[in-house]
Amino acid sequence: MGWKRKSDDAEGEDGFGGDGDGHKRRRKAAAPAAPETKEKREILPSTIKNKERRSAVHAKLKQQKKLEKRKKLKERDAAEKRALELGEEPAPKKIPRTIENTRELDETVCRPDDEELFAGNDCDEFSSILKRERAPKILLTTCRFNSTRGPAFISELLEVIPNSQYFRRGTYDLKKIVEYANHKEFTSVVVVHTNRREPDALLIIGLPDGPTAHFKLSKLVLRKDIKNHGNPTSHEPELVLTNFTTRLGHRVGRLIQSLFPQEPNFRGRRVVTFHNQRDFIFFRHHRYIFDSKESKRTDSKDKKMKNDEGEKVPQEKVIARLQECGPRFTLKLVSLQHGTFDTKGGEYEWVHKPEMDTSRRRFFL
Amino acid sequence: MQHDEVIWQVIRHNHCSYMAKITAGIFCRNEYNVTGICNRSSCPLANSRYATICDHDGVFYLYMKSIERAHMPNKLWERLKLPKNYEKALEIIDKHLMYWPKFLVHKTKQRLTKMTQMRIRMRKLALKTREKIMTTPRKEKKREARREEKAEKAAVLEKSIEKELLERLRKGVYGDIYNYPVKEYEKVLEMDSLQAANEDEEEEPEIEYVEGYDELEEELEDDIEDFGGLAINRVHATSDNGEDEDGDEDEDGDAEADRKRGRKESSLALRNVEKGDAVSKPKKRAKVLVEVERENADERQAAVH
């Protein structure tokens, strides 16, 4: 039965019978010789039990696909080139399919006109800091164990986040530390956690009873390991938070925003970026400068813009140039808890579970 | 009949399941062993009279084995609950193991001491918070690492940061810090886009440009502001003809009337071309005059509004 269906499909694809009508009987009878060759071509590798033969067939199929793809690409390029030479408009470029394009529809994506969102923002824990009523004051500490790169990382974080102080951990409980910080009017506590002598996780606790976000830290690169790094100044940095789309992402974005002062000093030209891509938050710290670049465009489009004098008009473009300074790392949200740090009795807003990873197109931030 | 020697010979030289030989020494894993070392005098199997301390849920029990019950393995070990008080427990041990070999008594008391200390420490630790080690399966760690790599490639970070900064510059978030003629840059952009949209019918007005082009270039920029602004206005305007736009254009000062007229013509022409109307020179001139008249009317209208 399967074979018959396949030959039907094959004929349907190529319109093999040559006739446009859909009578099945005709199709089956139409090409007696063809289905045999079709069957040979359409054998699925998964039906072959012999591993060597199966892998050979699979390799051949892949090679064929690769060749077809390359051919298509060449044709497309040739067509575009021809169109440009002739002076016509080339065919519009097709949009490639990316994971971001095909992301699963998430109903918690923030919409720009959401009243509930604004109301929530007004009465959430960060509103007082974000409305500039309180200035952010950060307490930085580590976990109980030593680590090789920990101290260097802490010193760099102290430079990145203005108005932050480092306290040695000792053997204090986190809950006691939170109490102490509340007493001394800090606005957040940041704990750098170490595993196997490497900084491994970041715990950001908002105060007085703000949410606790637990991030997994990876790919830490310190300033001295970056080529051509710059040295940061002490001006207040600008924040760039991109791609935090869902409600959860928005909340995390606001949490990160509450660590930094809300009056950036634009003359300092320092920018701190938290870029969310597929639930990974990439942290970068740059110094930037705007340059104007003269580019003489030589496309055929320019021909219209030429004067009768025949000069080419130089176009001035502005570009931004970045120099990286400061550490570079990526964060991934593991859990977001509603109150301050309390693993036993706390109420979790979001916890990452392995079963959430089953779909490659589903992201939560 | 109990032959401890025989048992010991057999156990020690052949095989004992409880024996654990490690680099530090030979140990006995039997739960009833007092010292924990595999010895002739510490082996609970090879001694018919034996005593130990065992701990169940924080309570210590004294276990005793005597030769009279050697034939009843079921009832071999006698259990006695010890009080939590250390001194009292010591006294009880003394009382029950009164005529027993000194070795056993000594070792039992040592074991009691050690276990009491351990109990105190365990209680103290339970009050403190300890970190719990959570393990992640290797597969997940690798999967996360792979996804992170791909996400980093997909997020072309430098480009996106630069784009964001340029957006902010364009919107004017930075104010006047950069002396960067943002508006002029926009004008140039719009001029490009409009010129690109135009066809070759524009040649006539362009000829007018050529004569005064060099002079007009700077003023062009000023005026293109209106021009560009007007282009935007036109998009939004629905039923207006061009009156408002003309009015705007003329507001900038009639002192430069000549130059402006030349430019107006061209801009008008461009606009007309965009609208799709046919353009001819005499008509344009007439229109200019008409504009002037209308302008006053517009201003009056504006005042009314």
Q: Which of B16, B45, B24 is nearest to B33 (CA)?
A: B45
How far is it, in rounded angstroms, from Cα A213 to Cα B243?
59
Pick the residue of B143, B148, B206, B220 with the most A CBs within 10 A to test the interface with A by mutation.
B148
Q: What is the CA radius of gyration of chain B?
A: 51
Domain CATH code at residue B19: 3.30.390.110
Domain stops at, among B47, B62, B80: B47
Q: Which domain holds residue A143?
A: 119-289+317-356
Structural domain includes residue B238: no
Residue B272 pLDDT: 46
Domain check: are B3 and B34 in the same one? yes
**Which residues in B lie closer than 8 A to residue A175 (C-beta atoms)?**
129
Query: Do the Cβ atoms of B70 and B142 come closer than 8 Å?
Result: no
Query: What is the SS3 assignment for B118?
Result: helix
Domain check: are B165 and B99 in the same one? no
Q: Do A320 and B169 touch (CB under 8 A)?
A: yes
DSSP classification of residue A184: T
Structural domain includes residue A225: yes
Q: B253 at the A interface (CB within 8 A)?
A: no
Query: What is the SS3 assignment for A37?
Result: helix
Structural domain includes residue B285: no
Percent of chain B with pLDDT over 70: 58
**Which residues in A lie closer than 8 A to residue B169 (C-beta atoms)?**
290, 318, 320
Structural domain includes residue A179: yes
Domain check: are B68 and B110 in the same one? yes
What does residue A259 show for φ and ψ, rounded to 5 degrees? -80, -25
Residue A252 pLDDT: 94
Q: B166 at the A interface (CB within 8 A)?
A: yes
| pLDDT tens for each residue of B88-126 | 999 999 999 999 999 999 999 999 999 999 999 999 998
Kind of pairing between the strands at A238-242 and A270-277:
parallel
Question: Which of A86-95, A212-221, B12-21, B182-191 is the most confident on average?
Answer: A212-221
Please tell me which residue of chain B has the smallest CA distance to A285. B161
Domain check: are B117 and B71 in the same one? yes
Could you list the pLDDT tens digit for every one of the 365 residues in chain A? 545 555 444 444 444 444 444 444 544 444 454 555 555 567 888 899 999 999 999 999 999 999 999 999 999 999 989 888 888 877 788 888 999 999 988 888 888 888 888 888 888 888 888 888 888 999 999 988 888 999 999 999 999 999 999 999 888 888 899 999 999 999 999 999 998 889 999 999 998 888 999 999 999 999 999 988 988 888 899 999 999 999 999 999 999 999 999 888 888 899 999 999 999 999 999 999 988 887 765 554 444 444 444 445 566 788 899 999 989 999 999 999 998 888 888 899 999 998 998 988 999 98
Q: Is the pLDDT of residue B265 over 50?
A: no
Domain check: are B60 and B104 in the same one? yes
What does chain B come to in residues? 305
Q: B148 at the A interface (CB within 8 A)?
A: yes
Pick the residue of A175, A299, A304 with the most B CBs within 10 A to test the interface with B by mutation.
A304
Q: Do A267 and B177 touch (CB under 8 A)?
A: yes
| pLDDT tens for each residue of B199-257 | 544 444 444 444 444 444 444 444 444 444 444 444 444 444 444 444 444 444 444 44
Residue B181 pLDDT: 61
**Which residues in A lie closer than 8 A to residue B192 (C-beta atoms)?**
305, 315
How far is it, in rounded angstroms, from Cα A43 to Cα B248?
73
Minimal CA separation from B58 to chain A, in Å: 25
Q: Which domain holds residue B158?
A: 145-174
Torsion of CA A109, A110, A112, A113, to 10 degrees: 110
Domain check: are B69 and B124 in the same one? yes
Minimal CA separation from B148 to chain A, in Å: 7
Q: In sequence order, which residues have a C-beta less than 8 Å from that of residue B16 and are 6 or more positions away?
A: B28, B38, B45
Q: Do B154 and A218 touch (CB under 8 A)?
A: no
Chain B window 70-99: which residues touch A at a Cβ cutoff of 8 Å?
Answer: none
**Which residues in B lie closer than 8 A to residue A301 (C-beta atoms)?**
196
Q: How many domains does chain A have?
A: 1
Q: Which of A275, A315, A357 sits opposite B160 (nearest CB)?
A: A275
Read off the pLDDT band of B198 (50, 70, 90): low
Domain check: are B76 and B122 in the same one? yes
Residue A145 pLDDT: 86
How far is it, in rounded angstroms, from Cα A258 to Cα A129?
6
Q: Do B196 and A322 touch (CB under 8 A)?
A: no
Domain CATH code at residue A184: 3.40.50.10480
Q: Which of A98, A175, A275 sits opposite B157 (nearest CB)?
A: A275
Q: Do A240 and B164 touch (CB under 8 A)?
A: yes
Distances (CA, A) of B266 to A93, A270, B205, B213: 35, 45, 5, 12
Structural domain includes residue A17: no
Pick the residue of A142, A266, A297 with the most B CBs within 10 A to test the interface with B by mutation.
A266
Q: What share of chain B is helix, strand, coil (3-state, %, to 5)?
A: 65, 10, 30
How far is it, in rounded angstroms, from Cα A259 to Cα A161?
7
Burial class of B217 by CB neighbour count within 10 A (0 to 12, 13 to 18, 19+):
exposed
Structural domain includes residue B161: yes
Domain check: are B6 and B63 in the same one? no
**Which residues in B lie closer than 8 A to residue A267 (C-beta atoms)?**
177
Q: Do B129 and A282 touch (CB under 8 A)?
A: no
Query: What is the SS3 assignment for B183?
Result: helix
How far is it, in rounded angstroms, from Cα B116 to Cα B88?
13
Q: Is the pLDDT of residue B50 over 80?
A: yes
Mapped to the 3 state alphabet, what secondary structure does A47-110 carry?
HCCCHHHHHHHHHHHHHHHHHHHHHHHHHHHHHHHHHHHHCCCCCCCCCCCCCCCCCCCCCCEC
Q: How many domains does chain B have?
A: 3
Minimal CA separation from A266 to chain B, in Å: 7
**Which residues in B lie closer than 8 A to residue A198 (C-beta atoms)?**
none
Q: Do A290 and B165 touch (CB under 8 A)?
A: yes
How far is it, in rounded angstroms, from Cα A318 to Cα A316?
7
